[in-house]
Amino acid sequence: MTFSRSTKTLLRKLEVSHDENLTYKELFLSNDDLLPVPSHKRTWKAWNFIAFWVADSFNINTWMIVSSMVQLGLSWWQAWICVWIGYSVVAPFIVLNARPGAMHHITFPVVARTSFGLWGSLWPVFNRGVMACIWYGVQASIGGTCVLVMLRAMWPSVNNIPNHLPASSGTTTRDFMCFFLFWLISLPAIWFPIHKIRHLFTVKAAVVPVAGITFFIWCIVKAHGVGPIIHQPSTLHGSQLGWNMVASLMSCISNMATLVTNAPDFASRATYPSATVWPQLISVPLGFSIVSFIGIIVSSSSQTIYGEAIWSPIDLLGKFLDNDPSHATRFGVWFIAAAFIIAQLGTNISANSISAGCDLTALFPQYINIRRGGFIAAIVGICMLPWNLLKSSNNFSSYLSAYSVFLSSIAGVMISEYWLVRRGHYRVKDLYTLDKKGWYYYTYGINFRAYAAYISGILINVVGFAGATGRTVPIAATHIYQMSFFTGFGVSALIYCLLNYFYPPRGSHLVGSKFEERDVGAEGGGAEEDRESANEKTDEKESEKADVLVYTQA
């Protein structure tokens, strides 16, 4: 009995802040980080979203994205066109899925409830959370290589640290030390809430582009020109060229599938909804295209300098440190490597840590908030031994391509729910209640229309995925899989709209043919009036608790 009481006491202390009047089941729907963001935390303005995407585009993956296209046989300008088209096409999807978050100030896991149901949303949230944890470890491993170059620039003997780890570990003492250092310096950034972490992206947007342009000019001067890749023609023609360009631009889109899915996470902190529109539509294609262009020129120059194209900026900086470099060279490498550390840190926080925090919060709202979820992602990132994943890059790339199919089908359902099925109509209070008459309770908390559409979007790409793993499949299936984001998104959206047309969901009689963004539940003494009434009766220190009561009482 004593053990049982102590256990209960411990579990009680581990709980995050929530309304004490909630039932056991309602504790799975709400905590402070799942409720609509209060006005004082809506601090993201238009320039914050611009800084966010400028910062997010400056990372090693974007720098190297053209390398695989050139290796396929495309010329540099054909590859760069693919980058422009790919990121220009994916930007509207980010804006479309971010809209409900910006309008109603709720994160991705809560937005997913509108289409998949209160309990049905847990599976897509789990999918996105797993992806975020895996990517956190991978990006941290890449960040470790940046730390190694920076330390080598300061103390060249770091490169000669003896290895005391067995071969089965998959790494060395030196590399693990650098990985752990990057992992360690990332922890303080996880502590900051979303509405304050925008300052990190502002710093990154100011520092990293300067380092990238410095690297760009340095390589051109060192090579006395832009190098041979710029003059290298395409080796492909006809339909083969066309389909390889399609596959290349789809790799850009698939690379963004994770950020399309959880776009509401950051949009929920927007000061006003329009801040999430043009800033993202413009900065996404512009930022990623400029970074990839810098990567092309630097890699082309490296071929003149070293006789081979070195696409990884970290590997190229490491080359600069070979053969007893000057103090000026070492300082330049140190500055650029330090900037890449900031770049990887910002990318890991924006794309992975915060996403994992939001997702894990929805899975275990009684004990996890966004901050705790971010730290859990960091722990998973180190326990999964990410350097082993990066060793077999082909298998890892195939896995990521397959996972983008799952995410595009989720996005297809979510976007069509808001824009086509409900036409902007929301009922925010029903997102936090188990009332069977609520809009999003559906069938025992699960919307089977959404799951039918979601599975359909996956099935159309199954045969093509088998071909990507080495099986012999029809060429048509291969082409369908090459366009997996569009096929998965399109099929899931179409099936979802048809099912809702023939089997209208609860509340559809309130949705007319006109698109109108409004919270139906707030009309006639709903959520917003309840919030104002509660605020009048409580002091400023209790305002946050009032927000909890408004949105969790059905």
Other C-beta atoms lying within 10 Å of the C-beta of residue 476: 10
Average pLDDT of the residues in 421-445: 94
Residue 155 per-residue DSSP state: -
Average the pLDDT over each of 24-33, 77-86, 221-230 and give the range with the smallest value.
Answer: 24-33
The pLDDT score that the predictor gives to residue 490 is 96
Closest CA to 463 of 447, 450, 449, 479: 479
Instruction: List alpha helices for 155-226, DSSP H.
Output: 173-191, 194-223
SS percent in the chain: helix, strand, coil, step 5: 75, 0, 25
| pLDDT over 50 (residue 528) | no
Residue 152 has pLDDT above 70, yes or no: yes
pLDDT at 24 over 50: yes
Please tell me the predicted confidence (pLDDT) of residue 539: 39
| DSSP codes of every residue in 461-488 | THHHHHHHTT----HHHHHHHHTHHHHH
CA gap 101, 267 in Å, rounded? 5
Q: Please check the confidence at residue 156 and state whether its pLDDT lies above 50.
A: yes
Residue 234 neighbours by CB distance under 10 Å: 17
Q: Which of 41-55, 240-254, 392-406 has the lowest mean pLDDT?
A: 392-406
Q: Residue 14: CB partners within 8 Å, gap ≥ 6? A: 367
- Rounded CA-CA distance 91/328 in Å is 40
The strand pairing partners of 518, in sequence order, are: 425
Mean per-residue pLDDT for 217-234? 92
What value does the mean pLDDT take over residues 320-346? 94
In whole angstroms, what separates CA 348 from the centre of its chain? Answer: 9
Residue with tokens 């902190």: 269
Of residues 428 and 543, more confidence is placed in: 428
pLDDT computed for residue 522 by the predictor:
75
Residue 470 pLDDT exceeds 90: no
pLDDT of 395 > 70? The answer is: no
Percent of the chain with pLDDT over 70: 90
| Strand ranges (E), 373-435 | 425-426
The predicted structure's pLDDT at residue 237:
87
Decide: helix, strand or coil at residue 17: coil
pLDDT of residue 438: 94
Specify the DSSP element, H or E, that contains 78.
helix 76-104
Two structure tokens written together for 488? 């998965």
Per-residue pLDDT tens digits for 244-292: 999 899 989 988 988 999 999 999 999 999 999 999 999 999 999 999 9
Position 350 scores a pLDDT of 85
pLDDT range class, residue 18, cuts 50, 70, 90: low
- The arithmetic mean of pLDDT across residues 195-224, rounded, is 92
Residue with the two structure tokens 């103090």: 327
The β-bridge partners of 443 are 446
Average pLDDT, the chain: 88
CA separation (Å) from 40 to 98, 117, 372?
Answer: 20, 29, 22
pLDDT, mean of residues 425-454:
95
- pLDDT band per the 50, 70, 90 thresholds, residue 68: confident
- Residue 509: C-alpha distances to residues 77, 263, 425, 505 (Å): 52, 29, 11, 9
**Mean pLDDT, to the nearest integer, of 379-389?**
89
How far, in Å, CA of 365 to CA of 552, rounded? Answer: 13
What's the rounded Cα separation, in Å, for the pair 369 and 374?
9
- CA-wise closest residue to 252 among 404, 52, 355: 404
- Which pLDDT band holds residue 9 (cuts at 50, 70, 90)? confident
Cα-to-chain-centroid distance, residue 452: 25
| For residue 3, pLDDT beyond 80 | no
Tell me the range of 93-107, 157-171, 224-238 where mean pLDDT is highest: 93-107
pLDDT at 2: 47
pLDDT of 396: 60
Q: How far apart are CA 347 and CA 408, in angstroms?
A: 21
Reply yes or no on whether the pLDDT at 111 is more than 70.
yes
pLDDT band at 303; cut points 50, 70, 90: very high
Which of 250-254, 296-300, 380-384 is the least confident region?
A: 250-254
Please report where in the chains the tokens 């600069």 appear, as a residue. 320
Is residue 190 scored above 80 in pLDDT? yes
User: 273: exposed, middle or buried (C-beta count within 10 Å: 0-12, 13-18, 19+)?
Assistant: middle
Better pLDDT: 54 or 27 = 54
Q: Is the pLDDT of residue 487 over 90?
A: yes
In contact, 120 and 455? CB cutoff 8 Å = no
Look at residue 369 in the predicted model and tell me its pLDDT.
93
Output the six-digit token pair for 515.
């698109």
Bigger pLDDT: 361 or 542?
361
Higher-pLDDT residue of 307, 19? 307
